[in-house]
């Protein structure tokens, strides 16, 4: 329980301490000077997320870092836990935009930093908003920004990988950028399994990119299940 208390204190205290930095970065971005503050944003986000994993006792093993492309890409991952977010922010290249559920926008201190990362918030219960979010995501990727999407739409909490929604794949195919499947296994041990912060082993497998430019309609239709099967293939706890 002490670990959980310390973890949550750090979670919000760090965000409060660096709020002046957020204000400065936000000011620069509004003036069209994102390039000047992007390294600062990435450093702050990486520091915060990596310490969250450390305080939780998460030991992360990463396989396939060489598969992270230099070009813009859409990273598609399964979703076991809320800890998947600090994992992808620290282990899958530089911190980049996430397609996140709308409820995260209500967490104090989180919304501002997610906006700096150009995250897109999605409300699956509002069809019109969901369409707008997918359009915003496509525009962001076409502008040269990588994005991570969890196409299950909800956490599996260590259970079977759920069906993949097609939005992530439409963003990648519309922008003609590669999809990079990412298998995350074990993050649910850090929180959901015990109902509190708990040490655990996490394994991340970054698969080879799948080019989407020039795909046939049939290939596009088959993408969600193809990527889901590839992600599951790297899991040790379930097949």
Residue 224 has pLDDT above 70, yes or no: yes
The per-residue pLDDT for range 121-158, each reduced to its tens digit, is: 988 777 788 888 889 999 999 999 999 999 998 899 98
pLDDT (0 to 100) of residue 238: 59
CATH classification at residue 145: 3.40.1130.10
pLDDT, tens digit (0-9, with 9 covering 90-100), for 25-79: 999 999 999 999 999 999 999 999 999 999 999 999 999 999 999 999 999 999 9
Q: In the predicted model, is pLDDT for residue 180 greater than 70?
A: yes
Q: Mean of the per-residue pLDDT values for the chain?
A: 92
Asked if the structure places residue 23 within a domain, the reply is no
Please identify which residue in the block is written with the tokens 């794949």: 169
Lateral strand order in the sheet of 120-122: 58-63, 200-206, 179-185, 74-77, 147-149, 97-101, 120-122
Task: Please tell me the total count of domains within the chain.
Answer: 1
Give mean pLDDT, residues 225-232: 96
Is residue 16 assigned to a domain? no
Q: Is residue 83 part of a domain?
A: yes
Range of the domain at 203: 57-233
214: in domain:
yes
Whether residue 239 lies inside any domain: the answer is no
Q: Could you give the percent of the chain with pLDDT greater than 70?
A: 99
Question: Cβ(164)–Cβ(224) under 8 Å?
Answer: yes
Q: What's the average model confidence in pLDDT over 204-213?
A: 96
Rounded CA gap, 102 and 3, in Å?
28
Categorize the per-residue pLDDT at 227 as very low, low, confident or very high, splitting at 50, 70 and 90.
very high
Residue reference for tokens 């909490």: 157
């Amino acid at each position: 329980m002490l670990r959980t208390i310390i973890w949550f204190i750090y979670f919000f205290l760090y965000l409060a301490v660096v709020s002046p930095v957020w204000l400065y970065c936000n000011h620069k971005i509004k003036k069209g000077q994102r390039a000047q503050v992007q390294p600062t944003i990435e450093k702050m986000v990486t520091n915060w997320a990596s310490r969250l994993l450390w305080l939780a006792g998460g030991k992360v093993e990463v396989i396939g870092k060489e598969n992270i492309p230099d070009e813009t890409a859409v990273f598609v991952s399964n979703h076991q836990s809320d800890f998947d977010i600090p994992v992808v922010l620290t282990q899958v290249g530089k911190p980049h935009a996430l397609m996140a559920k709308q409820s995260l926008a209500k967490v104090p201190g989180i919304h501002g930093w997610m906006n700096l990362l150009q995250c897109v918030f999605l409300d699956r219960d509002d069809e019109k908003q969901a369409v707008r979010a997918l359009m915003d995501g496509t525009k962001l990727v076409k502008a040269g920004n990588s994005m991570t999407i969890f196409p299950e739409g909800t956490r599996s909490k260590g259970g079977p990988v759920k069906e993949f929604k097609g939005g992530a794949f439409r963003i990648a195919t519309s922008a003609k950028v590669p999809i990079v499947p990412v298998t995350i296994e074990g993050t649910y041990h850090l929180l959901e399994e015990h109902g509190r912060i708990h040490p655990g082993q996490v394994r991340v497998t970054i698969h080879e990119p799948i080019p989407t430019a020039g795909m046939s309609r049939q290939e596009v239709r088959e993408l969600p299940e193809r990527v889901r099967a590839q992600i599951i293939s790297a899991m040790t706890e379930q097949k």
